[in-house]
């Protein structure tokens, strides 16, 4: 739901929980944004990886990676704005002429800005710059989300160049978070947990998912976070990880599954909680307890040097003798045990079978081995962790029991 939609809903429904935030105060007063020195260190790290892999340059379009390296916050459109990081020297930003002042507002590292007019080809600007630097015949890496027409346009103008994936460079930088990044993610997680504690006691019989989401988002804003998502699944809809389009309302004895997150300086949180409105059944308690244990098994398995896929395998080794699965079959765990998180809500590396990447200090991942029973209900507990030299550490601590489901 958009922010405007949530605010409008609060006024329209008159529900007291939607209209008030009970004096919640911002938690971001001590936040320290990513500084110039850290961005320069990121650039140096990328250039070191490029040199080791024989790349001449790296092309990055707007999105999390552009912000990560340059500070530039921009949206993609048919009008190309991009960064080109050379193997040595300062970055180049290419943007439409009329966008230059706006793009410069967030440029946080030294670099050139070259513009193109509406009747010109932006790829020609990039190609000319690379040729001037004697880099036009080398290997040009493209960040993995760069659109085809961008890389293809560059390839056509640089026939002696080789266009190759830039993911090893970008992932080599972004997968390992610095203390400053982890601190921002910690604040984001703290805000989401505070918003959960505000929202949970305000859930009432008959509320729709949009009503609950509006309470959560309003609290998140009051606490200083930028709401990213508030997925609310009620009753049978909780059996489907990303929900159902059928009408839903809070009912006695039914599951409420909330999956919510926010951003602080662009760094994200992602936390899920599952509880029952009213008195839980024996089966609901049992499945909740199974997920709670599965989450702990994932946490215990996630040690430095362990392959990320082994975490997923360990959870399924616990679930399958209980009658779930096997593998991704339902009832059971139909998705990976967790995903990387940072400036993007989902980013490498993942807790998924076959992932050979070894866990290392600075990696940040979700831990969410949900169980889903089609036609009945689902349970997902999700907390994110970051790897330290001595093992994993929670950003948010899992709840102790279904009777204390927020934590």
Secondary structure letter of residue 99 according to DSSP: G
Give how far Cα 127 sits from Cα of 116, 131, 136, 294, Å: 13, 6, 7, 52
Which pLDDT band holds residue 404 (cuts at 50, 70, 90)?
Answer: very high
User: pLDDT tens across 178-230, in order?
Assistant: 999 999 999 999 999 999 999 999 999 999 999 999 999 999 999 999 999 99
User: What percentage of the chain carries pLDDT values higher than 90?
Assistant: 94
pLDDT at 128: 97
Q: What integer pLDDT is reported at residue 20 of this predicted model?
A: 72
Three-point CA angle 182, 67, 38, nearest 5° = 55
Q: What integer is the mean pLDDT of 291-306?
A: 98
Tally Cβ neighbours within 10 Å of residue 293.
Answer: 15
Residues 6+ apart with CB under 8 A from 368: 272, 295, 337, 338, 380, 381, 382, 383
Whole-model pTM? 0.94
Average predicted confidence (pLDDT) for the chain: 95
- Is the pLDDT at 378 greater than 80, yes or no? yes
- Give the mean model confidence (pLDDT) for residues 7-27: 58
DSSP letter assigned to residue 238: G
- Model pLDDT, residue 16: 46
Q: What is the CA radius of gyration of the chain?
A: 23
366-369 CB contacts, 8 Å cutoff, 24+ apart: 366/270, 366/338, 366/339, 366/341, 367/295, 367/298, 367/299, 367/302, 367/337, 367/338, 368/272, 368/295, 368/337, 368/338, 369/291, 369/294, 369/295, 369/297, 369/298, 369/315, 369/319, 369/333, 369/337, 369/338
3-state secondary structure of 386: strand
Asked if pLDDT for residue 387 goes beyond 60, the answer is yes
Query: Is 122's pLDDT higher than 50?
Result: yes
CA distance 183 to 45: 21
Mind listing the pLDDT tens digit for each residue in 326-363? 999 999 999 999 999 999 999 999 999 999 999 999 99
Rounded CA-CA distance 325/204 in Å is 34
Token output for 213: 């989401």
| pLDDT of 18 | 52
The average pLDDT across 25-33 equals 97
Q: How confident is the model at residue 22 (pLDDT cuts 50, 70, 90)?
A: confident
């Amino acid at each position: 739901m958009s922010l405007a939609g949530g605010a409008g809903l609060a006024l329209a429904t008159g529900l007291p929980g939607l209209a008030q935030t009970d004096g919640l105060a911002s938690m971001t007063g001590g936040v320290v944004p990513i500084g110039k020195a850290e961005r320069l260190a990121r650039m140096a790290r990328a250039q070191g990886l490029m040199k080791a892999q024989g790349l001449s340059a790296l092309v990055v379009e707007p999105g999390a990676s552009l912000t990560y390296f340059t500070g530039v916050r921009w949206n993609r459109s048919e009008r190309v704005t991009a960064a080109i990081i050379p193997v040595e020297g300062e970055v180049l930003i290419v943007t439409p002429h009329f966008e230059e002042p706006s793009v410069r507002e967030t440029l946080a590292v030294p670099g050139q800005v070259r513009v193109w007019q509406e009747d010109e080809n932006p790829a020609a600007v990039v190609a000319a710059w690379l040729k001037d630097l004697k880099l036009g015949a080398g290997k040009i890496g493209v960040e993995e989300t760069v659109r085809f027409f961008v890389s293809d346009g560059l390839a056509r103008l640089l026939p002696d160049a080789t266009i190759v994936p830039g993911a090893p460079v970008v992932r080599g930088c972004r997968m390992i978070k610095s203390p400053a990044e982890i601190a921002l993610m910690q604040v984001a997680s703290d805000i989401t947990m505070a918003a959960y504690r505000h929202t949970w006691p305000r859930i009432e019989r008959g509320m729709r998912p949009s009503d609950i989401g509006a309470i959560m988002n309003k609290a998140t804003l009051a606490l200083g976070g930028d709401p990213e998502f508030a997925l609310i699944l009620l009753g049978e809809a909780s059996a489907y990880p990303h929900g159902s389009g059928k009408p839903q309302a809070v009912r006695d004895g039914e599951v409420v599954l909330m999956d919510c997150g926010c951003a602080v300086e662009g760094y994200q949180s992602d936390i899920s909680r599952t509880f029952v409105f009213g008195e839980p059944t024996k089966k609901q308690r049992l499945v909740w307890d199974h997920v709670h244990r599965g989450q702990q098994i994932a946490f215990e398995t996630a040690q430095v040097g362990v392959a990320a896929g082994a975490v997923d395998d360990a959870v399924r080794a616990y679930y399958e003798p209980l009658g779930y699965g096997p593998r991704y079959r339902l009832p059971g765990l139909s998705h990976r045990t967790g995903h990387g998180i940072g400036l993007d809500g989902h980013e490498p590396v993942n807790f998924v079978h076959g992932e050979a990447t070894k866990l290392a200090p600075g990696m940040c991942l979700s831990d969410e081995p949900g169980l889903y029973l089609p036609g009945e209900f689902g349970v997902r507990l999700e907390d994110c962790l970051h790897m330290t030299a001595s093992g994993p550490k929670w950003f948010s601590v899992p709840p102790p029991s279904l009777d204390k489901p927020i934590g």
